[in-house]
């Protein structure tokens, strides 16, 4: 067999033309969303005021196994996809491991991450429904940038509520979004009721994703013909992100490879859920049994220390409630946390799979994450996003285990994006001023005490 190339790109003809819906193969379904107004399982119509209709339907559809990707979305995918599957030869050599390490690199587009895959889908369906505009939130800024690109492409106005601490740490992210024509507002803000309330109770807060979601939802439902869109957590997002895993699997098949271990970073679960989708299908249908490892920050450990329970998706408690691993909807990681992945909850699909034993999870500290990031950058000459670097660290750990055991396993990890807008964090790592933070049990008890009560379901 000829030597495996460093990077493999599928051709345009080899690109997937359908998304894969993991729920269609799950033996047990995630518990339904609960409408906080009725305290009953949400119906698809309940979501129409917030999400556009096609997306609400995708959100609720557990039966359709494959969705055709509309031609207009495929056309925009082709501007920046396929993304490469890369063999990390230098990392393997430096670790002196018998393992083969592959990564799927989603950072070669202006959003700097995989987020564009779902942003395009969501903007397209919004445009198709004739909406006047969209609102969203962004933390690290990749999602806001991705959606700004997609909205510019489809000609839709966009308002982005950006978590204040990121807004301040990443001033240039705002400028990118504005270049694509979006309005960017630091959250919490004075422009919404919820923002004003939060500022009143905590004027110096750096904000949180949960809070920015509340503001974006409020803004959407109070603006004529607007809807809200979200870049992670949701079932629809995992559906769109399945393009990552489908491309990866197709590329690995061309190489005659199949992963023994798949490692992904986990915040809300959008990349991990997309990357593992077709491999999890193999697992669910008994065709193969790869290990799947989620890597999350020790400062925001929803899988490893959260509770599998119904919770709100936002701090303002206006969204439907989802059964997921959660730290409580008003949990905020410490301000010294710069590694992203700071959402209090986790994709309900991934939560269910983890709960049912289909996945593992580990929590890692941020100085170790940045150490792995810098090692990777020097060897593979890609400056990774802090979020993505959780997966790098996870993959390195797996490769070192292989070194110990002498096993030549095939490791696949998701490199979700680049760190060009994270230089404040890199500088603090370089200067030795970065510290770690692990919430105490009391911290978590306190935030978990806010879980909602749902008669007959969660008392």
Which residues contact a copy of itself by CB under 8 A? Answer: 5-7, 9, 11-12, 76, 78-80, 86, 90, 108-110, 112, 116, 149, 152-153, 171-172, 175-176, 178-181, 374, 377-383, 418, 420-421, 423-424, 426-427, 430
Rounded least distance, CB 317 to a copy of itself, Å? 35
- CB of 338 vs a copy of itself, minimal distance in Å: 13
CB of 227 to a copy of itself, least distance (A): 22
Nearer to a copy of itself, 176 or 395 (CB): 176
CB of 423 to a copy of itself, least distance (A): 4
Q: Give least dist CB 344 to a copy of itself, A.
A: 29
Residue with smaller CB distance to a copy of itself, 255 or 444: 255
Residue among 258 and 420 whose Cβ is closer to a copy of itself: 420
Residue placing its CB nearer to a copy of itself in the complex, 374 or 444: 374
Nearer to a copy of itself, 5 or 49 (CB): 5
Nearer to a copy of itself, 11 or 440 (CB): 11
State in angstroms the smallest separation of the CB of 435 from a copy of itself: 18
Nearer to a copy of itself, 44 or 377 (CB): 377
Write down the least CB distance from residue 80 to a copy of itself, Å: 6
- What is the smallest separation between the CB atom of 386 and a copy of itself, expressed in angstroms? 12
How many CA within 13 A on the CB side of residue 46? 18
Q: How far is CA 192 from CA 22, 161, 189, 321, 349, in A?
A: 36, 11, 7, 21, 31
Q: Which is nearer to a copy of itself, 83 or 189 (CB)?
A: 83
CB of 223 vs a copy of itself, minimal distance in Å: 23
Which residue is it, tokens 């996003």? 385
Backbone angles phi and psi of 284, in degrees to 5: -70, -30
Query: Between 75 and 407, whose beta carbon lies closer to a copy of itself?
Result: 75
End-to-end CA distance of the chain: 60
In this structure, are residues 21 and 239 in contact, taking their beta carbons and an 8 Å threshold? yes
Please, what is the minimum distance in Å from the beta carbon of residue 9 to a copy of itself? 5
The C-alpha atoms of residue 233 and residue 351 are separated, in whole angstroms, by 10
Task: Work out the number of other CB atoms within 10 angstroms of the CB of residue 70.
Answer: 15
Tell me whether residue 77 or residue 310 sits nearer to a copy of itself (CB atom). 77
């Amino acid at each position: 067999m000829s030597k495996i190339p460093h990077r493999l790109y599928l051709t345009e003809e080899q690109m997937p033309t359908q998304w894969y819906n993991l729920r269609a193969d799950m033996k047990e379904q995630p518990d339904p969303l609960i409408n906080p107004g009725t305290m009953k399982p949400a119906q698809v119509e309940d979501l129409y005021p917030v999400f556009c209709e096609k997306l609400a339907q995708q959100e609720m559809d557990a039966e359709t196994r494959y969705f055709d990707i509309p031609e207009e979305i495929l056309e925009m995918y082709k501007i920046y996809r396929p993304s490469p599957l890369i063999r990390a030869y230098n990392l393997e050599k430096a670790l002196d491991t018998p393992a083969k390490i592959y990564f799927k690199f989603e950072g070669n587009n202006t959003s700097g991450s995989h987020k564009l895959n779902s942003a395009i889908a969501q903007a397209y369906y919004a445009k198709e429904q004739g909406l006047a505009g969209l609102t969203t939130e962004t933390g690290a800024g990749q999602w806001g940038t991705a959606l700004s690109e997609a909205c510019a492409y489809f000609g839709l106005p966009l308002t982005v509520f950006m978590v204040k601490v990121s807004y301040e740490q990443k001033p240039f992210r705002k400028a990118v979004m504005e270049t694509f024509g979006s309005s960017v507002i630091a959250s919490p803000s004075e422009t919404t009721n919820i923002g004003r309330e939060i500022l009143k109770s905590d004027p110096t807060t750096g904000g949180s994703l949960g809070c920015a979601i509340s503001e974006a939802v409020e803004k959407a439902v109070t603006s004529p013909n607007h809807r809200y869109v979200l870049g992670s957590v949701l079932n629809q997002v995992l559906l769109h992100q399945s393009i990552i895993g489908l491309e990866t699997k197709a590329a690995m098949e061309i190489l005659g490879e199949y992963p023994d271990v798949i490692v992904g970073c986990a915040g809300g679960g959008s990349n991990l859920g997309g990357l593992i989708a077709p491999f999890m299908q193999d697992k669910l249908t008994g065709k193969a049994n790869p290990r799947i490892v989620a890597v999350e920050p020790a400062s925001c450990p929803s899988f490893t220390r959260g509770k599998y329970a119904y919770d709100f998706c936002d701090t303002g408690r206006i969204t439907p409630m989802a059964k997921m691993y959660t730290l409580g909807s008003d949990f905020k990681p410490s301000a010294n946390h710069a590694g992203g992945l700071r959402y209090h909850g986790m994709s309900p699909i991934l939560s269910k799979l983890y709960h049912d034993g289909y996945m593992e999870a580990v929590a890692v500290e941020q100085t170790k994450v940045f150490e792995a990031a810098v090692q990777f950058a020097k060897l593979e000459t890609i400056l990774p996003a802090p979020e993505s670097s959780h997966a790098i660290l996870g993959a390195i750990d797996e490769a070192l285990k292989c070194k110990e055991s002498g096993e030549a396993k095939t490791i696949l990890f998701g490199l979700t994006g680049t760190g060009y807008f994270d230089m404040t964090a890199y500088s603090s790592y370089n200067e030795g001023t970065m510290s770690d933070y692990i919430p105490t049990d009391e911290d978590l008890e306190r935030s978990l005490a806010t879980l909602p009560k749902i008669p007959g379901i969660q008392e």
